[in-house]
Structure 1
Amino acid sequence: MPRRTFLSVVPAGISAALLPACSAEGERSSTSADSGNRGSLSTPNSTGEGFTPNTDPPAIHQFFMPAEEAEHERTWMCWPSNEDIWGDGLEEVQNNIAEIARAIAAFEPVTMLVRPEEMEAVADLLGEEIELLEAPVDDLWARDTLPAFLITAPGDPQPGMAAGRVRFNGWGGKQTHDGDATLAELLATHLDIPLHDWGLVGEGGGFEVDGAGTVLAAESSWVNDNRNPGKTRDEIEAGLLSLLGADRMIWVDGLAGHDITDGHIDTLARFASETTIVVDAPAFPEEDNVWVDLAARTKELIEAAVTSDGEPYEVIEITQPGEPRGTSDGFLASYMNYYVCNGAVIAPEFGDEAADAAARELLAELFPDREVVQINIDGLAAGGGGIHCATQQQPKLRGE
């Protein structure tokens, strides 16, 4: 089962000279009257000076992360522009990101974070249906670099939102993403919401939530010295539960050292509901390789887990395409990395008609009130990622 390949470490930070000035500490940026659907994030210099986020830990359960299928206010994405990372594949992956944004925008608002020097070109490509916001973006992985948006728990007399940050270090130092490492803070300031931080290093693709108190994660991408040296699984679990407003954890083993993410959960197992978990299944389970073994072990652990009511989960397999168009090393030929938005499930198609149709039918059964929209994402998949990796939902506040 291929995953995102290792890429060379490149200095992807942005010089402070390239960034728009911030006129006051913590000041929110805004879209000017003549700028249409464009704006910019207030940006600290490259050392982070001049930015004072609220990193005081919140009271446990004061905020929580809703399930992805809860109603969204909008989707956030990041525009890829780094030729050192993508090389000749940059144009194709840009077209994939544009297509994903357009598909989501048919159902809910989309805001794209874009480097300042790319704004004009991206505006011409995306048109007015996608809002653009200047930001020191290094790459497209919004799931990993943007905050987890949290809302106040049901019954709170003052509905509110917070940004939950896990500190991004380039998937355990495998790449340098100085700009991306600041995005959670910048977005919290732009939206004028508190930033919650429990000191964990990791990525948003490393956890799944059901919105009802359970978190799902792979040990390989958290209990790992390249992210959280010296921390035990219990310590990391306590931090994740507190950050996400949850009270119970399901761990799978994952697999470290075979892809850049060290085995993100959003390609292995995902909640479809509070009682249903979808797991990845290889197209050729008889093959002898680490990815087949990983899928079998993940399914075994999920089948052994129980819901908050003590009942077994319904475990649904979604089988990979047997004959995808993409054949490069690291091509993520998996349907697991779908994205649930208002009224739709945005999912990949790989040119294997039978497998594509089976995935579409399964997702339609899992999310019966949503339209399943399949997109060719071969450029993105060649980089080891998928639609979920490139998106981050902002939930709608209760009562709005």
Structure 2
Amino acid sequence: MTANSASSTPRELGFTFPAEWAPHRATWLTFPHNDASWQGDKLAKMRPQYLAFIKAISQGEKVGVIANDEALKQFIIGELDKTGVDLNKIEFIVKPTNDAWCRDHGPSFVVNPKTGEKMIVDWGHNAWGGKYPPYDDDNRTPRAVAEYLNLPVVNPGIIMEGGSVEFNGAGTILTSESCLLNLNRNPHLKQAQIEQHLFDYYGVEQILWVEGGIEGDDTDGHIDDTTRFVNEDTVVACVESNPADDNYKMLQTNLGMLKNMRLVSGKQLNIIELPMPKAVVIDGFRTPGSYANFLICNAGVIVPVFNNPHDQVAIDILEKAFPGRKIIPLLATEIIWGQGSFHCLSQQEPLV
């Protein structure tokens, strides 16, 4: 099959979106190159943390890097070489890009467990409700990756962001009302219609909704900052211990909703409470610092930390939540200025 639109939906063809902990062939990144998210000298300051992220992923799988142009590709190669990254683990696609948040504008990979086939879902991207134009180059990224990998691609025709959905690999998606039902995404669709697109193109059976997100998050409340599956029936859910903090009420609301949820099997969710960091404020700006914005990859679980009093508590909790997986804490003190972290920056390609 080649990179042409499929006539049937992925679900009808037997495809589904695997859990993040399933083995990866690669993780895809869009290399940051302008000041859309990191103004002034902040782009240069965050780069060492970004390169450390690439190095950590590359310990267990390939890293696909999307570079804006050939000059940037050569710059990246030089920087990775200085960082000690095995360049044999890096693949490049050279194409114009706008911003760095590959979780949201990049390819969504679905697989057919029976045949071992892989397909890319090319959701529409409008930069989180049109907040940060231009975004047309990023919107073309899934098809470029499909062409590079010679994979079939299907276009659902609606706006969807990878950071807004969380999967257990057993038929369930977690998402948030504040983002997916926001009129700045798909104002022509009702909730049931949005759910049908998720069923059809992610190959799932159930959508579970929390209410909203955290302060500083310009995505209108992505789930990957608040609630993450760690196995088929267990989530880590962010909580704020300080009742005076702006995140306290919303995270308590989400927690109450999670406690009432039932999975496809009828089982109640196991919930592990994960503390928020003490407010990560940079230059007077409350960033969306969250330990839930981790990436599960072959090498381990890459967790953002912030030189914060709560870092070690979160690491200890995640070590228990992921038995048998290495927890890899990496500094995100500069990355978080861009209002996202390691999960937002990446999109995994499953191994089939």
The yes-or-no answer on 1:58 pairing with 2:9 is yes
Q: Out of 54, 58, 75, which is 1:121 matched to?
A: 75
Structure 1 residue 140 displacement after superposition: 1.1
Q: What are the within-5 Å matches in structure 2 for residues 1-400 of structure 1?
A: 53-54=4-5, 56-58=7-9, 60-61=11-12, 62-88=14-40, 89-116=42-69, 117-127=71-81, 128=87, 129-153=89-113, 156=114, 158-176=115-133, 177-254=135-212, 259-284=217-242, 286-287=243-244, 289=246, 291-322=247-278, 324=280, 326=282, 328-353=284-309, 355-397=310-352
Q: Is the 2:165–2:224 contact (alpha carbons within 8 Å) kept by the matching residues of 1?
A: yes
Give the direction of change, closer, same or farther, for the CA distance of 1:377–1:188 in structure 2 (3 Å limit): same
Partner SS, residue 225 of structure 1:
coil
Structure 1 residue 131 displacement after superposition: 2.9
Aligned pairs, how many?
Answer: 342
Q: Which runs of 5+ in 2 are unaligned?
A: 82-86
Q: Is the 1:324–1:351 contact (alpha carbons within 8 Å) kept by the matching residues of 2?
A: no
Structure 1 residue 362 displacement after superposition: 1.2
CA distance in 1, matches of 2:288, 2:241: 13
Give the TM-score taking structure 2 as reference length.
0.91
Partner SS, residue 140 of structure 2:
helix
Corresponding letter in the other structure for 2:297: C
CA distance in 2, matches of 1:139, 1:394: 20
Give the TM-score taking structure 1 as reference length.
0.81
CA distance in 1, matches of 2:281, 2:55: 23
Q: Is the 1:344–1:373 contact (alpha carbons within 8 Å) kept by the matching residues of 2?
A: yes
Give the direction of change, closer, same or farther, for the CA distance of 1:371–1:255 in structure 2 (3 Å limit): closer
CA distance in 2, matches of 1:98, 1:189: 26
CA distance in 2, matches of 1:395, 1:182: 21
Corresponding letter in the other structure for 1:56: S
Q: Determine what percentage of the aligned residue pairs are the same residue.
A: 29
CA distance in 2, matches of 1:84, 1:170: 11
CA distance in 1, matches of 2:91, 2:319: 29
CA distance in 2, matches of 1:119, 1:216: 36
CA distance in 1, matches of 2:317, 2:214: 29
Q: Is the 1:324–1:350 contact (alpha carbons within 8 Å) kept by the matching residues of 2?
A: yes
CA distance in 2, matches of 1:119, 1:261: 29
Q: Is the 1:330–1:383 contact (alpha carbons within 8 Å) kept by the matching residues of 2?
A: no
Structure 1 residue 105 displacement after superposition: 0.8
Shifted more, 333-342 versus 56-65: the winner is 56-65
Structure 1 residue 326 displacement after superposition: 4.5
Give the direction of change, closer, same or farther, for the CA distance of 1:66–1:278 in structure 2 (3 Å limit): same
Shifted more, 82-91 versus 367-376: the winner is 82-91
CA distance in 1, matches of 2:254, 2:55: 33
CA distance in 2, matches of 1:206, 1:227: 12
